[in-house]
Amino acid sequence: MKKDLADIIAPPEITIAPTHMKVGKKFARTVFVSNYPRYLSTGWMSPIINAPELMDISIFMHPADTADTLKKLKRKTAQIEAQLMDQEEKGLVRNPQLETAYQDVEGLRDSLQQAREHLFMVALYITFYADTLKDLDVLEGRVVNMLETRLVYAKQATFEQMEGWNSTLPIAADRLAVHTPMNSGPASSLFPFVATDLTGDTGILYGVNRTDNTLVIFDRFSLENANMVIFSKSGGGKSYAAKLEAIRLMMTGVDVIIIDPEHEYKALAEAVGGSFINVSLASTEHINPFDIPSVPEDESDDDALKSHVVTVAGLIKMMVGAITPEEEAVLDRAITETYAMKDIIAGKDFSKKTAPVLSDLKTVLESLEGGKSVAERLYRFTDGSYSGFTNFPTNVDLGNRLIVFSLRDLEEGLRPIAMYLVLNFIWNVVRGKIKKRVMIVDEAWWLMRYPEGALFLFGLVKRARKYYLGVTTITQDVEDFLLSPYGRPIITNSSLQLLLKQSPAMMDVLQKTFNLSEGEKSLLLETPVGQGLFFAGTKHAVIQVLASSPEDKVITTTPHERGK
């Protein structure tokens, strides 16, 4: 049997009820807009168009005959004028509503007569879909509420759901025919393709807005916080985007500090005269976890030391693995006593004192009841194969504009510990001298796998704004990052988000986390390398990250391009 096109594209079944339809396995409901406010602002439909729920929206604009409209408006003017005169003769209090209507009608007559405006019969229909009737009611309430907050009122197409559904199909058929007269100005506000303007007077160039080819120029320090997250699959361009931002930030006077897990930022450091610090077991550059804590102006010595003790305890717990509550109490006491050995005590000025090292803590633990087990597990970091990594005084200088800490030559098990150690060291420096800085933490999911590491990174992100610091968190393992109880809070405490090409396995998690629409979800799956979604506060845009030829030579990570 030969099938025509209608048979092929039609759903397997349609059930029609007074207030909804069932199309295949989905429930559908159509509403029409019945009333508008006096003024409509540009882009008022943007929240509805960008909503992640499945909806079809149709806008019909039927041009009205100008001559016929002018005749009707003339009659309407006469009616309103007669009402005003009648009320004036009766001595009634003036009616502002009638006076406003008279001014509006006269203004529209002038605009139409002079061809500055045209009149349209406008219809707006919305069909939304859900898996159950309950979900359909909830979705309708959400959509209607978004409309009513803008004084736009919608009604169900009762007993005309089939006509309503057909009106929102891509066949350009207005079957409901519920029209509202509008002149060109308010009618243009329904135009759905409103591109977000992210071109500022200050900041750096992040890329090109693919919607309208404008430049995305933004100052991350102008938002409520300067933190940023970058999510992408391997090879999606996340490190490329971070390096490009680092170069451009430096040109505006911002210092940049980078945690580099794969030697990806070495060429960048060499090109701009930055410092490249290779953190490894055989390295001659060391960071002491027991460094004297910096004391900000708005904190007391006592608070700064206590906070630092908690941070050091988190690092030790990552080194030794799981510990009992009793061992945790012993560890806290041992760290305090280790500092006391060097006369670093709360209430005293300890800024000029010499910091202890990890082996001093091991000695104290061995002398405390219940501390020997922890001390034995610390052996490899104080006297064993890892001792060159954590058991020496700090000899690293952070005086350069660009500092890169590379962790590539550490075995995988040590990388989270090294990342925690370096972050703590940087945080101590940041608190000591406040200036514009951005810290880039690449492959942050390593740290997020450990509760202590995730908590420390979250605390860093949350408190960074106070010290003029912006933290950029980069990861390709979205699932590991979000499975941590601190993953989502880190995202919510980051005003900037950049989502580049994603793998299908991660899309459901990302869609839920970032409230992505189906169109945005498809874009992230199909987009080429270097393109994605850029979120800046409440604004977002489809972005393409672009570098100049000199910038590209410095920041590219493609092997064949590096060899040129």
Q: Mind listing the pLDDT tens digit for each residue in 65-77? A: 877 877 877 788 8
For residues 367 and 508, state if they share a domain.
Answer: no
For residues 1 and 113, state if they share a domain.
Answer: no
Question: Could you tell me if residue 283 is inside a domain?
Answer: no
CATH number (domain holding residue 310):
1.10.8.730
Residue 193 has pLDDT above 50, yes or no: yes
**Cα 214 from chain centroid?**
20
For the chain, the residue count is 564
Q: Mind listing the pLDDT tens digit for each residue in 365-402? A: 988 888 888 889 888 888 887 877 788 888 887 778 89
Question: Could you tell me if residue 23 is inside a domain?
Answer: yes
Q: What is the count of structural domains for the chain?
A: 4
Residue 560 has pLDDT above 50, yes or no: no
CA distance 367 to 372: 8
* Mean local confidence (pLDDT), 247-269: 91
Residue listed under structure tokens 């999606």: 236
Query: Under 8 Å CB-to-CB from 286, ≥6 apart: which residues?
Result: 388, 390, 392, 393, 394, 395, 396
Asked if 469 contacts 459 with a C-beta cutoff of 8 angstroms, the reply is no
The two three-digit tokens of residue 423, written as one number: 């972050």
Asked if 240 contacts 383 with a C-beta cutoff of 8 angstroms, the reply is no
Distances from the Cα of 493 to the Cαs of 222, 229, 272, 440, 490, in angstroms? 15, 10, 31, 15, 5
For residues 133 and 34, state if they share a domain.
Answer: yes
pTM given for the model: 0.67
Most confidently predicted of 21-25, 28-32, 420-424, 530-534:
28-32
For residues 71 and 15, state if they share a domain.
Answer: no
Among 117, 137, 152, the domain boundary falls at 117
For residues 200 and 57, state if they share a domain.
Answer: no
For residues 108 and 150, state if they share a domain.
Answer: no
Percentage of residues in the chain having pLDDT higher than 90: 24
CA distance 328 to 314: 10
For residues 406 and 523, state if they share a domain.
Answer: yes
**Cα 229 from chain centroid?**
7
Task: Quote the pLDDT of residue 2.
Answer: 59
**Cα 406 from chain centroid?**
27
For residues 563 and 478, state if they share a domain.
Answer: yes
In DSSP terms, 122 is beta-bridged to 61, 180
CA angle, 3 then 6 then 7, to 5°: 45
Q: Mind listing the pLDDT tens digit for each residue in 89-113? A: 777 777 777 777 777 777 777 777 7
Residue 337 has a CB neighbour count (10 Å cut-off) of 16
**Residue type for position 160:** E
Residue 564 has pLDDT above 50, yes or no: no
Question: Could you tell me if residue 189 is inside a domain?
Answer: yes
Among 117, 139, 159, the domain boundary falls at 117
For residues 562 and 417, state if they share a domain.
Answer: yes
Question: Could you tell me if residue 93 is inside a domain?
Answer: yes
* Mean local confidence (pLDDT), 283-310: 82
CA distance 279 to 121: 69
**Cα 65 from chain centroid?**
48
**Residue type for position 357:** V
Max CA-CA distance within the chain? 104
For residues 442 and 552, state if they share a domain.
Answer: yes
Asked if 524 contacts 503 with a C-beta cutoff of 8 angstroms, the reply is no
Query: What is the torsional sign of CA 16, 21, 23, 27?
Result: negative
Q: Mind listing the pLDDT tens digit for each residue in 202-217? A: 889 999 988 778 888 8
For residues 273 and 385, state if they share a domain.
Answer: no
Instruction: For residue 299, report the phi and psi dihedrals to the nearest 5 degrees.
Output: -125, 155
CA distance 316 to 330: 12
For residues 339 and 295, state if they share a domain.
Answer: yes
**What is the radius of gyration, based on Cα positions, of the chain?**
32
Among 173, 194, 215, the domain boundary falls at 194
CA distance 490 to 454: 9
Domain span at residue 162? 1-63+118-194
CATH number (domain holding residue 563):
3.40.50.300
Asked if 441 contacts 464 with a C-beta cutoff of 8 angstroms, the reply is no
**pLDDT confidence band for 196 (50 / 70 / 90):** low
